[in-house]
Amino acid sequence: MEVKNKYVSIKANINGAPEESDFEIKVENLSLTVEPESKVVVVKNLFVSIDPYQINRMKSQSSSQTSISYATAITPGEVIDTYGVGRVLVSHRPDFKKGDLVAGLLTWGEYTVVKEGSLLNKLDPSLAFPLSYHVGVFGFSGLAAYGGFFEVCKPKPGEKVFVSAASGSIGHLVGQYAKSLGCYVVGSDGSQEKVNFLKETLGFDDAFNYKQETDLKSALKRCFPQGIDVYFDNVGGKMLEAAVANMNSFSRVTICGVISEYTNASTRAASDVKDIVYKRIRIQGFLAADFMPVYADFLSKTVEYLQDGKLKTMEDISQGVDSIPSAFIGLFNGDNIGKKIVKVADE
Amino acid sequence: MEVKNKYVSIKANINGAPEESDFEIKVENLSLTVEPESKVVVVKNLFVSIDPYQINRMKSQSSSQTSISYATAITPGEVIDTYGVGRVLVSHRPDFKKGDLVAGLLTWGEYTVVKEGSLLNKLDPSLAFPLSYHVGVFGFSGLAAYGGFFEVCKPKPGEKVFVSAASGSIGHLVGQYAKSLGCYVVGSDGSQEKVNFLKETLGFDDAFNYKQETDLKSALKRCFPQGIDVYFDNVGGKMLEAAVANMNSFSRVTICGVISEYTNASTRAASDVKDIVYKRIRIQGFLAADFMPVYADFLSKTVEYLQDGKLKTMEDISQGVDSIPSAFIGLFNGDNIGKKIVKVADE
């Protein structure tokens, strides 16, 4: 048996901001016949994650200066893998049966052929939440927020916390984790609508629209007259430079992403390194997968907070594989509030 | 009784590279009469420390953007405090007697009136080393090297360690601590003479003259084909940017000083923050005084290494208070190899 699998690919490497013309929607014939001894699992994709970091995988990997490549490169014309939720269509493995709901490494397409060893987990049927939550708040966005904030920043109640891209997939969770700990939380984002959302819906203590500020250092000085103890950075660039100038002694900066720099390296900014010395600032990068060892803690706390109403998760869901390119491009234009997800098919 | 006290002061705040004309040698009458109930201790200075960070205390403190001042400002016309070694001339305190050798916060001058609460410790007479060692290798230079390397970087045997300004007061000790741990050590510095010194006298595995390199990233790539695990940064600027590009996953950068930026903020460079994220680099600043809790460990290990010949300490000693301005200015021209000290008087 065979199905038509519609999927997204890039036509060539993308080295600046992504545009619609960089992508194509392709259709392939996909066999649903799996040999009885095969460990392959065929999944029908339901919700797939749309994340800014994918742009780094789409770049030409010719950079000779760095000793690592930015995760596995995406090959033009090929399927693009992504975290997502789906339903098992075909499996001869004892651990996955037809009809099982799963989360793991799927694709920007309608179906995924999941090879042995690739990330795939059965969903816990006792979790009475929308399926899309497994892409966002229970997925790597949530884990990045939780691990980056608690594990890297080691925050204490009462500390002053700044979050950039604060209404984004990760930022909006970080701010609420920080509030739940008893921190003072200020977010920055790119529109008045988002600022209102942070303050009125999510309970941030303050927020500002960076596009309306002439001087980011002054903006942060105004919001943090006593300085910043923890900065959860999602943007890099000038905001990181401004934050370093406003950090307190023994403060921590965790860098989760640098979306302002992904599509334009000229936006990099030079922090005052003297500040890092005199204020003993710790700056640290991380990847969400580093926190798999604390996944169980993360999940139980997050479920509890959602049930208690301490945590609200926001999702911005587009419909269908055809919407994936514009959903992805929109990330770099600040189109989304909360986690950007594409719903590929009905459950 | 009274003495003439010759001391160095700045004529006005210094905001660029220091020059001879920025300083003046002044003479004051200093009373050696101390009231019996006074806790003041008058010290005859013997060796005083000459450190780059003092330039930050000499700047105009008008910077409004930062929430901290860079240590206590130095006032034009006044004495300048510094770490040093001296001999007690007058004391009514039970813990300090006339003739005691002491180390603590003295001045760029011939005598110091040490107030109660100011750093002052009696030297351990059992330590059979030159008195000047208490200014350098047993002082804050040694503590910075030890604490910054072991406590902040958490190095492991076999790791690849890079040290900039490697023949300087702190760098030359860091490299030898790293060798003693079994690390692979490369240093950078500003002359062929220093490169030879690092390799031939101190046993660095490799070294390079940054002034002879057209591309620092390539230089580091050549010296560290497998990448850098630990970077002990004394210079900041372009070297820090180049190091970040060559760091390995889960590597650590400790920032001890940024001499390239102290006198010229335009030398700041923008590291690729994406590298910090993907390689989970930890960047951390420190001040030597943070490591006072491990001073005893530091001292015993350092004494042992010196006695075993595992550690050599280099000193560059000028003579007399009049030489202090040129000794200080020379730090920014790379004049010194090892710890810069001025000998103010014979023991």
Q: How far is A268 from chain B (nearest CA, A)?
A: 6
- How many angstroms separate the CA atoms of B47 and B134, rounded? 9
- How many angstroms separate the CA atoms of B80 and B14, rounded? 14
Put simply, whether B63 touches A (Cβ < 8 Å) is: no
pLDDT, position B65 = 39
Lowest mean pLDDT among A259-268, A308-317, B30-39, B236-245: A259-268
Domain residues for the domain of A156 are: 140-289
pLDDT, position A72 = 83
Q: How confident is the model at residue A283 (pLDDT cuts 50, 70, 90)?
A: very high
For A79-137, write each residue's pLDDT tens digit: 999 999 999 999 999 999 999 999 999 999 999 999 999 999 999 878 889 999 999 99
Put simply, whether A292 touches B (Cβ < 8 Å) is: no
- By CB atoms closer than 10 A (0-12, 13-18, 19+), residue B326 is middle
Whether A96 and A15 map to the same domain: the answer is yes
Q: How confident is the model at residue B74 (pLDDT cuts 50, 70, 90)?
A: very high
B156 near B224, Cβ under 8 Å?
Answer: no
Q: Given A68, A226, A269, which is nearest B249 (Cβ)?
A: A68
Q: Given A65, A227, A283, which is nearest B276 (Cβ)?
A: A283
Q: How confident is the model at residue B64 (pLDDT cuts 50, 70, 90)?
A: very low
Compute CA B119 distance to the chain's CA centroid, rounded to the nearest angstrom. 17
Lowest mean pLDDT among A109-113, A208-212, A330-334, B122-126: B122-126
Whether B145 and B277 map to the same domain: the answer is yes
pLDDT, position B126 = 80
Q: Is the Cβ pair A284, B282 closer than 8 Å?
A: yes
**Is residue B307 situated within a structural domain?**
no
**Is residue A306 situated within a structural domain?**
no
Whether B28 and B126 map to the same domain: the answer is yes
**Is residue B294 situated within a structural domain?**
no
The arithmetic mean of pLDDT across residues A307-318, rounded, is 96
Burial track B71-84 (b if 16+ CB lie within 10 A, e otherwise): eeebeeeebbbbbb
Whether B112 and B158 map to the same domain: the answer is no
**Is residue B203 situated within a structural domain?**
yes
Residues of chain B contacting A282 with CB distance shorter than 8 Å: 282-285
User: Cα–Cα distances in Å, from A185 out to A199, A233, A288, A303, B122?
Assistant: 10, 13, 22, 22, 48
Whether A125 and A32 map to the same domain: the answer is yes
Over the Cα atoms of chain B, what is R_g? Answer: 21
For A56-79, write each residue's pLDDT tens digit: 999 887 553 344 555 688 999 999
**Is residue A308 situated within a structural domain?**
no
Q: How confident is the model at residue A302 (pLDDT cuts 50, 70, 90)?
A: very high
Whether B129 and B238 map to the same domain: the answer is no
**Is residue A300 situated within a structural domain?**
no
Q: How far is B245 from chain A (nearest CA, A)?
A: 5
Whether B174 and B120 map to the same domain: the answer is no
CATH of the domain at A84: 3.90.180.10
The arithmetic mean of pLDDT across residues B119-125, rounded, is 91
Whether B188 and B264 map to the same domain: the answer is yes
Q: Which amino acid is at A312?
A: K
Put simply, whether B48 touches A (Cβ < 8 Å) is: no
For A222-248, write each residue's pLDDT tens digit: 999 999 999 999 999 999 999 999 999
Per cent of chain B over pLDDT 90 is 88
Q: Over 80: is that where the pLDDT of B122 sits?
A: yes
Transcribe A30-89 into DSSP letters.
EE----TT---EEEEEEEEE--TTHHHHHS-----S-SS-SSSPPPTTS--EEEEEEEEE
Q: Is the Cβ pair A272, B275 closer than 8 Å?
A: no
Whether B10 and B126 map to the same domain: the answer is yes
pLDDT, position A28 = 97
How high is the mean pLDDT of chain A? Answer: 94
CATH of the domain at B223: 3.40.50.720
Over the Cα atoms of chain A, what is R_g? Answer: 21
> Which residue from B minimizes the CA distance to A72?
B278
**Is residue A94 situated within a structural domain?**
yes
Whether A43 and A119 map to the same domain: the answer is yes
Q: How many domains are contained in chain B?
A: 2
Q: Is the Cβ pair B268, A268 closer than 8 Å?
A: no
Phi, psi of A7 (to 5 degrees): -145, 165
Mutate to test the interface with B, among A274, A281, A287 (most CBs of B within 10 A): A274
**Is residue A294 situated within a structural domain?**
no
First to last CA, chain A: 21
Q: Over 90: is that where the pLDDT of A24 sits?
A: yes
Whether B150 and B277 map to the same domain: the answer is yes
Q: How far is B237 from chain A (nearest CA, A)?
A: 8
* Residue B174 parent element (H or E): helix B171-181
Q: Which residue has the tokens 């609508």?
A: A193
> Which residue from B minimizes the CA distance to A69?
B278
Whether A147 and A131 map to the same domain: the answer is no
Q: Is the Cβ pair B287, A281 closer than 8 Å?
A: no
* Angle in degrees, 0-180, between the axes of helices B237-246 and B216-223, rounded to the nearest 10: 50
Q: How far is A279 from chain B (nearest CA, A)?
A: 7
Mutate to test the interface with A, among B15, B54, B58, B67 (most CBs of A within 10 A): B67
A188 near A208, Cβ under 8 Å?
Answer: yes
